[in-house]
Chains A and B, each alone.
Chain A
Amino acid sequence: MQWETVIGLEIHAQLATRSKIFSASSTQYGAEPNSQANAVDLGMPGVLPVLNREAVHMAIKFALATKAEIGTRSVFARKNYFYPDLPKGYQISQMSLPIVGTGIVPVELDDGEIKMVGLTRAHLEEDAGKSVHENFHNATGVDLNRAGTPLLEIVSEPDMRSAKEAVAYARKIHTLVRYIEICDGNMQEGSFRCDANVSVRPVGQEELGTRSEIKNVNSFRFLERAINFEVERQIDILEDGGTVVQETRLYDADKDETRSMRSKEEANDYRYFPDPDLLPVQIEDELIESLRASMPELPDARRKRFISEYELSEYDAGVMTADRATADYFETVIDKSGASPKLACSWISGELFSRLNKESLELGESPVDTERFSGLVARIHDNTISGKIGKEILDKMWSGNDNADTIIDNEGLRQISDSSEIESMIDEVIAANPDQLAEYRSGKEKLLSYFVGQVMKASRGKANPGELNKLLQEKLKG
């Protein structure tokens, strides 16, 4: 039988606020356990949650970025369950009236096709704390620093038909939330988490198969592997005549498999009800309009503009708009260097990125800022230096504080484009290599590169390669 895979994703994006969603505790990652958990986060009696304005604004920005409906009147609800890292015995979330309603996210697939993925909703909620199961004798340790961190749970329609499509959609949301600066997207630290609802059905069948929910996936690579494993598992069960059980499954990256999370099976009755501690949230049109005006150019629009305005290829435009920091860096460099966009793009995606990758640095941590990088690209653009010398200068800029012009002047690296100067070097090289010259003239044209190398060496790498080639070929002909 032919099977069709059906996938919907629930993405938890941690909102980049300074304080928690309902309290004034810090959301900073990595602090001493429980040093950022106040009376509200601990669920002490008598405390009241007060909603963080910035979290509301960020949710609205997400709605604007995905052209989703904005719930102008949204309501918080209690989701009740018992777990040690949830001190109140309920999580404050949203149920029937979420802050973000339905929307559409266009997702570009590998083959260039655009897939429209429906958003069901996105709602605000608080994160739980963290349980540490190791390190303690016959006990579990609870750290509540994360309790109360604002999350936007982004729920998609079951519109994806393969693990690849699911990953493309997740990446799209990941890019988007970082672009509009509502989430730092750090998957290792858990700022961006994906749960996948996966089911299979015979091709052509309308009705959805029984799904399982995969949790604990903290990279895009694992998301793809977890879904593929789960699809295989379900098809095996069905083809053996069995039935798929609706359950939550945990992905184990070490074993590359999903396994049943039995502890959560019985507790699926969350008894949602409106939280009496929180009033309905009213969102006025003026607020929406002022946030709309503050929105940056979104990645899709920017990519299209890079293609039309800068004549970048589809591929290059994709690389230059993969995240906002790169796109900003690129446009600043074009602006400051006066270089062609193509040149700026190739130096950023080639030389700059390879150095950053080597040292596992983010663009924001680059030792060479836009100012100095532009200075370098400008000198390559105006032929003061060759690309080869440019790479050497970039290495020096990487480990020091000088700008390109200073290094060029101090080390006498200016490119020699003056034809009489190059000609005299060529003459010397030809005079010193009479045998090679004779061979070249008798048809061994491969020796051209030998001569190029000799002259380049004589110029200590500074001869303008275009000029050198042209003059050398003329001279060799005799």
Chain B
Amino acid sequence: MAVDNKVVEQVAHLARLQISADSVANYAAEMSGVLELAAQMDEVDTSSIEPMAHPTHAVQRLRDDVVDEVDKREAFQKIAPSVENGYYLVPTVIE
């Protein structure tokens, strides 16, 4: 699959990345190359192989449902850019 400039711009927007206009074509070429490389896999018959969600064969360990956490709000909010009355403040979100 070839990636065109429009796809690059869309992906950048979704990822909130700011890229300069003159680098778009370059990204398009590089991303197309990556996809072409991966596309070689299409040649292999994988019909009998179960899709993998994780590179190891381990399964998820579970934890007991226990509250084991003290309130560290003060420490966390010390490193936040802006807080008020216990809330983290962000630029106004318009619904």
A residues lining the B interface (CB < 8 Å)? 17-19, 23-26, 32-39, 42, 50-56, 75, 80, 82-84, 97, 131-133, 135-136, 138-144, 250, 261, 263, 267, 269, 271, 274, 276, 278-282
**What separation, in Å, do the CA atoms of A139 and B82 have in the docked complex?**
10
A277 to chain B minimum Cβ distance, whole angstroms, is 10
Given A26-B67, A82-B16, A279-B58: A141 and B93 interface contact (C-beta under 8 Å): no
**What separation, in Å, do the CA atoms of A281 and B58 have in the docked complex?**
9
The reply to whether B93 and A24 contact each other, CB–CB distance below 8 Å, is no
**What separation, in Å, do the CA atoms of A179 and B2 have in the docked complex?**
53
CB < 8 Å neighbour of B65 from A19, A135, A136, A282: A19
B residues lining the A interface (CB < 8 Å)? 10, 14, 16, 53-54, 56, 58-69, 71-73, 76-77, 82, 84-95
B29 to chain A minimum Cβ distance, whole angstroms, is 22
Given A26-B67, A37-B73, A82-B16: A50 and B85 interface contact (C-beta under 8 Å): no
Q: A19-B65, A140-B89 provided; 9 other pairs, C-beta below 8 A?
A: A36-B71, A51-B63, A52-B65, A261-B95, A263-B94, A269-B10, A274-B53, A279-B60, A280-B54
The reply to whether B95 and A133 contact each other, CB–CB distance below 8 Å, is yes
The reply to whether A54 and B14 contact each other, CB–CB distance below 8 Å, is no
**What separation, in Å, do the CA atoms of A51 and B88 have in the docked complex?**
26
Q: Which residues of B contact A97 (CB under 8 A)?
A: 53
Q: Which residues of A contact B95 (CB under 8 A)?
A: 133, 250, 261, 263
The reply to whether B93 and A53 contact each other, CB–CB distance below 8 Å, is no
The reply to whether B87 and A34 contact each other, CB–CB distance below 8 Å, is yes
The reply to whether B54 and A276 contact each other, CB–CB distance below 8 Å, is yes
Given A33-B86, A52-B63, A279-B59: A24 and B92 interface contact (C-beta under 8 Å): no
The reply to whether A34 and B88 contact each other, CB–CB distance below 8 Å, is yes
**What separation, in Å, do the CA atoms of A56 and B60 have in the docked complex?**
11
B21 to chain A minimum Cβ distance, whole angstroms, is 20
**What separation, in Å, do the CA atoms of A118 and B63 have in the docked complex?**
32
**Nearest A residue (CB) for B10:** A269
The reply to whether B54 and A139 contact each other, CB–CB distance below 8 Å, is no
Q: Which residues of A contact B92 (CB under 8 A)?
A: 133, 138-140
Q: Which residues of A contact B59 (CB under 8 A)?
A: 279-282
Q: Which residues of B contact A39 (CB under 8 A)?
A: 72, 76
